[in-house]
Chains A and B, each alone.
Chain A
Amino acid sequence: MKAKVHIRLKQGVLDPQGKAIEGALSGLGFDGVDNVRQGKFIELEINESDPAKARTQIEAMCQKLLANPVMENYDIEVLG
């Protein structure tokens, strides 16, 4: 079973990389770009056929390693 995990900085946490990207986009002439936030995207395959069980496992992975709950939020997408 395949799954996707999106990890992003929590609202209110300063994202200097997002700011730098925003500045570079503006330098390239892309005007009107705002609130650029950089995150992480992780794809994985899991040996589990029950989507609910897969989600529970990935949830544990996010809590233990993939995300840092102090500064990041995550969304899990189980693709079946």
Chain B
Amino acid sequence: MKTAIIVFPASNCDRDAAVAIEQVSGKKPTMVWHQETALPDVDLIILPGGFSYGDYLRSGAMAARSPIMAAVKQKAEAGVKLLGICNGFQILTEAGLLPGALMRNAGLDFVCKMQTLAVANPDTPFTRGLKNKAYVDFPVAHHDGNYMADEKTLERLEGEGQVVFRYVDNPNGSARNIAGIINERGNVLGMMPHPERVIAPPLGGTDGAEFFKGIVEGAQNA
């Protein structure tokens, strides 16, 4: 599986994501600077966590308008898998690739802890590695993770199985306990929790390794 990871100014989980991908696929991902305008031929694009542009204006707002994003959108439209983690999820909503928005946490605190998530939809190209798990533990670390959308959008997300991860104990006031959603086509996933931070026991868990392994295996069987 070939992967590209987009690097924005103040991305800080880009290397963690690269290590996770290399660990499960044996292949180093291509790191692509946000000022680039073209992407190599890949099966997966990751928008990593971090604080792109210092969260100026709104989290993810500037990054969503970076030069590389036109190419990212084009690939997503062509069916390439696109995964946004944390700041990457914020960027996906700001870019209009996923509906809704991520607001300031309801409790105002920056939340940074291990979080149990219910796997709400195990039948996506991203969650096939979690088929035998009703719950996973991924850490969260964010200030703006409070997912909101209008009622109609929330109903549609629920009805179409587009809610992929749900907080068991909601840390940020997110509507319907939403931690991660996928687009209608099923190739763009945004999630606030960090699977790339739990890929080996010394890091606190291995659920993230299962997650990435599933994505790689899915790509190989496709």
Interface residues of A (CB under 8 A from B): 13-14, 16-17, 20, 40, 64-66, 68, 70-71
**CB contact between B100 and one of A16, A20, A70 (< 8 Å): that residue:** A70
- B15 interface residue per 8 A CB criterion: no
12 contacts between A and B (CB under 8 A): A14-B103, A14-B106, A16-B107, A16-B173, A17-B104, A17-B108, A65-B61, A68-B61, A68-B94, A68-B101, A70-B149, A71-B148
Residues of B within 8 A of A13 (CB): 103, 148
Known: A16-B104, A16-B106, A17-B104. A68 touches B58 (CB 8 A): yes
**Assembled-state Cα–Cα distance A16/B105 (Å):** 8
Q: How large is the interface on B (under 10, 10 to 19, 20 to 34, 35 or more residues)?
A: 10 to 19
Residues of A within 8 A of B101 (CB): 68, 70-71
- B93 interface residue per 8 A CB criterion: yes
Give B106's nearest chain A residue, CB to CB. A16
**Assembled-state Cα–Cα distance A40/B104 (Å):** 14
Interface residues of B (CB under 8 A from A): 57-58, 61, 65, 93-94, 99-101, 103-108, 146, 148-149, 173
Known: A13-B148, A14-B173. A66 touches B104 (CB 8 A): no
Residues of A within 8 A of B148 (CB): 13-14, 70-71
| B178 CB to nearest A CB, Å | 14
Interface contact A16-B94, CB-CB below 8 Å: no
Known: A14-B173, A17-B104, A71-B101. A65 touches B149 (CB 8 A): no
| B134 CB to nearest A CB, Å | 30
| A8 CB to nearest B CB, Å | 13
Residues of A within 8 A of B108 (CB): 16-17, 20
